Amino acid sequence: MYRSHVLVCGGTGCTSSNSLKIIDKLEEELAAQGLSEEVKVVRTGCFGLCALGPIMVVYPEGAFYSRVTVEDIPEIVSEHLLKGRIVTRLLYDETVGKDEIKSLNETDFYKKQVRVALRNCGVIDPESIDEYIAQDGYQALAKCLTEYTPEQVIQVITDSGLRGRGGGGFPTGRKWALCAPNKAPQKYVVCNADEGDPGAFMDRSVLEGDPHCIVEAMAIAGYAIGATKGFVYVRAEYPIAVQRLQIAIDEARAYGLLGKDIFGSGFDFDMEIRLGAGAFVCGEETALMTSIEGNRGEPRPRPPYPAVKGLFGMPTVENNVETFANVPQIILRGAEWFASMGTEKSKGTKVFALGGKIKHTGLVEIPMGTTLREIVEEIGGGIPNGKKFKAAQTGGPSGGCIPASLIDTAIDYDNLIALGCMMGSGGMIVMDEDTCMVDIAKFFLEFTVDESCGKCTPCRVGTKRLLEKLDKITKGNGTLQDIDDLEELCHYIKENSLCGLGQTAPNPVLSTLHFFRDEYVAHVTEKRCPAGVCKSLLSYAVVAEKCKGCTACARVCPVGAISGTVKNPHVIDTSKCIKCGACMEKCRFGAIVKR
Amino acid sequence: MKKKISKLPFRGTAEQERQLHEVIGKYKSDPSRLMTVMQEAQEIYGYLPIEVQQMIADGMNVPLEKVYGVATFYAQFALSPKGVYNVSVCLGTACYVKGAGDLFNKISEKLGIGADECTEDGRFSLTACRCIGACGLAPVLTVNNDVYGRLTVDDVDGILAKYND
């Protein structure tokens, strides 16, 4: 028996800020103090509050240490673990109450969260099948194989109202039901872990923090549709996820939870990992299958749908990681339980990756129907540096923006679609007043132009023309006609592209045009960037009344565009200025302004 | 995606070739493993010059055009060698919003190379990547396997100096 458990986050965020060295140092200090038999160190998956990483939690007290460094470890060991005195200075300040420490679940960040897909992340050691089993792991699979027929499994998933968490929101039960009756010598279950939407990392966190739940869910899906083989297609950029998933598959095989005759039911299922190679389009299901087959990952026209003719020409069900992560819990706790959360047409919870200009960046899992205001202001802790919230971008390069005026929107699939946004995989980038919406649209188009596979013309050529127009506008050479052309071309690309990538690529433009048309117009008619981002439209100037003539700006200017004498106001020669902003950073009197 | 194709002469060793043939031997029977072979070949050589692609095509018994097609389709496959230290700046949304673009420009200026280029001494190469999933630490860059987060332009000199051994 251990008297204390120390949980250290081993997710990618915290690993990047040295959590593995922290674990080594902890083990070393514990051994030096003779505590190795009394205190157990567990490397867990992601806690979600990445902004405060590296994170460490000590139980039974539940002390939540944030931004821990290797140098802090001796103090934590000798004070807290040896003498039982919590090191208050390292606690996350929101958990420090009067005379007591508050539980993590009472903090603003966690209070409104409901963890289903992430329930084991940051709780168990992802490399231990026993810890997963202790959390009811593999019981859902056992229940399916011994108590349910495949039809009943599909019925439970259908009744729960679970919809695909990867973007489109297609009902999972229906997807399975479409595939189940198709007869074929081999059928497949595919897990889409090619999380390509920049800014989203929930799938990676599930694979890193709770890989067994994916193994279990895929076996359940296999049983439901009559498939005996599964593939997980993971981005090669996620080495920790790949490694832990492989360990999980190996452990499951060793325990007889994968392989032949699972639970003596006569059901066979096995799976393997395939690595992606960095192509955004492979997140599209037919492209992903083409890629698993060893080809250029180009999408195929549908029909035939994958349920009929998918991977290697066989009936296939493909779901995303987060979708699968919900399955075992639905089986164990029942469809009614799951359907009791969320809104009328969007059941359950959704994980969002909060990023951008927000205090608490990280992963949050909330019931569908939570308002954007609750996410940004309460859970996310608001916008740093006293800036104003301008918009939240969801759905990545396929999605759109929700402006500040609609901050009370309840987030679910249908409300987002109605706003011209998309749930996407759940990336949520918060923007403040310093973000230029035209520039953001251009950023996403640069991405899609890069990632368009080139198979169909509307996407390959159309996105390029969109980008050219946006570039023209941000350089101050646009006309009002360009804005109209932009809009027309967007609709054309949406209607005529072959796959989801092209059909959604214009969304960032359409959405910003819809909510922030005035910014586009300002770029065109006034040659002005209201947010002060587009360099070609900016100019720097010295406010004479504030300038003390300290010469700091003139000395830092790389092109010698600033002139003036000591103790007299300086002047910027705009014809020489390259708009690097160095002078503005250097000025201690706030005398340099961007216009 | 446009790829830079290196004009540097191929300098593969016999040992590398032996390792490659071992990999090919392992996956030869399964044509869907072409990408796996190419991924492991890139581990061995650091990039996929045409000579290596030809060996893979011969070994896996597929046309060279297919190997080339796959190599040019996926961002992960490099057709130019990387420097001893590869600096990769994340230009994903979260990092971009937090100023990763300035970071990239500063490094580019400092090293005198653009995206997917290598310095003349073969020490540094520079790439822009799309989201490594450490968005909580934005903006982020990696130098080989080291990750640096919560950066400002002023951190660039210090980071590069660490690799000037």
Domains of chain A, first to last: 4-107 (3.40.30.10), 129-338 (3.40.50.11540), 349-432 (3.10.20.600), 437-525 (1.20.1440.230), 539-594 (3.30.70.20)
Whether chain A has a CB inside 8 Å of the CB on B39: the answer is yes
Q: In this complex, which of B74, B97, B136 lies closest to A13 when CB atoms are compared?
A: B136
Q: What is the pTM of this model?
A: 0.88
Compute the distance between CA of residue A470 and CA of residue A509 in angstroms, rounded to an integer.
Answer: 9
Tracing tokens 């967007």 back to the chain, one arrives at A490
How far off is chain B from A146, nearest CA to CA, in Å? Answer: 35
List CB contacts (< 8 A) between B36 and chain A: 274-275
How buried is B22 (Cβ within 10 angstroms: 0-12 exposed, 13-18 middle, 19+ buried)?
Answer: exposed
Q: Is-contact B80 B6, C-beta < 8 A?
A: yes
Whether chain A has a CB inside 8 Å of the CB on B14: the answer is no
Compute the distance between CA of residue B3 and CA of residue B5 in angstroms, rounded to an integer.
Answer: 6
The token pair that represents A203 in the structure block: 């799938």
Give the CA angle between residues A477, A516, A441 to the nearest 5°: 60
Q: What confidence score (pLDDT) does residue B1 get? A: 52
Sign of the alpha-carbon dihedral angle for A89, A92, A98, A104: negative
Q: In this complex, which of A53, A199, A435 lies closest to B94 when CB atoms are compared?
A: A199
DSSP A131-200: HHHHTTTTHHHHHHHHH--HHHHHHHHHHHT-B-TTSS--BHHHHHHHHTT---S--EEEEEE---STT-
Q: Is-contact B151 B140, C-beta < 8 A?
A: yes
Compute the distance between CA of residue A534 and CA of residue A436 in angstroms, rounded to an integer.
Answer: 8
Q: What confidence score (pLDDT) does residue A185 get? A: 96
Compute the distance between CA of residue B83 and CA of residue B122 in angstroms, rounded to an integer.
Answer: 5
List CB contacts (< 8 A) between B138 and chain A: 355-356, 361
Q: Find the helix packing angle between A202-209 and A321-333, rounded to 10°.
A: 60
**Which residues 198-227 of A are in CB contact (within 8 Å) with B?**
198-199, 201, 204
Whether chain A has a CB inside 8 Å of the CB on B143: the answer is no
Hey, are the CB atoms on A199 and B32 less than 8 Å from each other? no
The token pair that represents B101 in the structure block: 């673009």
- Provide CB contacts within 8 A for B59, sequence distance 6+: B20, B21, B24, B25, B28, B37
Hey, are the CB atoms on B70 and A295 less than 8 Å from each other? yes
List CB contacts (< 8 A) between B33 and chain A: 294
Pairing between β-strand B141-143 and β-strand B146-148 as defined by DSSP bridges: antiparallel
How far off is chain A from B12, nearest CA to CA, in Å? Answer: 23
Q: Poorest-confidence range of A392-396, B18-22, B59-63?
A: A392-396
Q: In this complex, which of A198, A291, A362 lies closest to B93 when CB atoms are compared?
A: A198
What is the average pLDDT across B70-96? 88
Whether chain A has a CB inside 8 Å of the CB on B149: the answer is yes
List CB contacts (< 8 A) between A69 and chain B: none
Three-state secondary structure call for residue A373: helix
Phi, psi for residue B86 in degrees, rounded to 5:
-100, 115
Hey, are the CB atoms on B133 and A277 less than 8 Å from each other? no
Q: In this complex, which of A50, A278, A312 lies closest to B76 when CB atoms are compared?
A: A278
pLDDT in tens, B93-121: 778 888 898 999 999 999 988 888 888 88
How far off is chain A from B70, nearest CA to CA, in Å? Answer: 5
Q: What confidence score (pLDDT) does residue B7 get? A: 67
- Provide CB contacts within 8 A for A40, sequence distance 6+: A2, A4, A5, A6
Whether chain B has a CB inside 8 Å of the CB on A393: the answer is yes
Q: Find the helix packing angle between A507-525 and A480-496, rounded to 10°.
A: 170
Whether chain A has a CB inside 8 Å of the CB on B163: the answer is no
The token pair that represents A515 in the structure block: 């909510």
How far off is chain B from A445, nearest CA to CA, in Å? Answer: 12
Identity (one letter) of the amino acid at A498?
L
Hey, are the CB atoms on B70 and A450 less than 8 Å from each other? no
Q: Per residue of chain A (595 residues), what is the pLDDT tens digit?
A: 899 999 999 888 888 888 899 999 999 999 999 999 999 999 998 888 888 889 999 999 889 999 999 999 999 999 999 999 999 999 998 888 777 778 888 888 999 999 999 999 999 999 999 999 999 999 999 999 999 999 999 999 999 999 999 878 999 999 999 999 999 999 999 999 998 787 788 999 999 999 999 999 999 999 999 999 999 999 988 889 999 999 999 999 999 999 999 999 999 999 999 999 989 999 999 999 999 999 999 999 989 999 999 999 999 999 999 999 999 999 999 999 999 999 999 999 999 999 889 999 889 999 999 999 999 999 999 999 999 999 999 988 889 999 999 999 999 999 999 998 888 889 999 999 989 999 999 999 999 998 999 999 999 999 999 999 999 999 999 999 999 999 999 999 999 999 989 999 999 999 999 999 999 999 999 999 999 888 888 888 899 999 999 999 988 887 788 999 899 999 999 888 878 788 888 899 989 988 7
Whether chain B has a CB inside 8 Å of the CB on A450: the answer is yes
ipTM confidence? 0.83
How buried is A421 (Cβ within 10 angstroms: 0-12 exposed, 13-18 middle, 19+ buried)?
Answer: buried
Hey, are the CB atoms on B34 and A294 less than 8 Å from each other? yes
Sign of the alpha-carbon dihedral angle for A301, A275, A459, A440: positive
Q: What is the CA radius of gyration of chain B?
A: 17
Q: In this complex, which of B75, B77, B93 lies closest to A396 when CB atoms are compared?
A: B93
How buried is A20 (Cβ within 10 angstroms: 0-12 exposed, 13-18 middle, 19+ buried)?
Answer: middle
Q: Is the peptide bond before A301 cis (omega within 30 degrees of 0)?
A: no
Report the C-alpha dihedral over residues B7, B1, B30, A273, rounded to 10 degrees.
Answer: 120
Closest by Cα among A486, A523, A482 to A508:
A486
Whether chain B has a CB inside 8 Å of the CB on A447: the answer is yes
Order of all β-strands in the sheet with B117-118: B117-118, B124-129, B85-90, B141-143, B146-148
Q: Is-contact A291 A103, C-beta < 8 A?
A: no
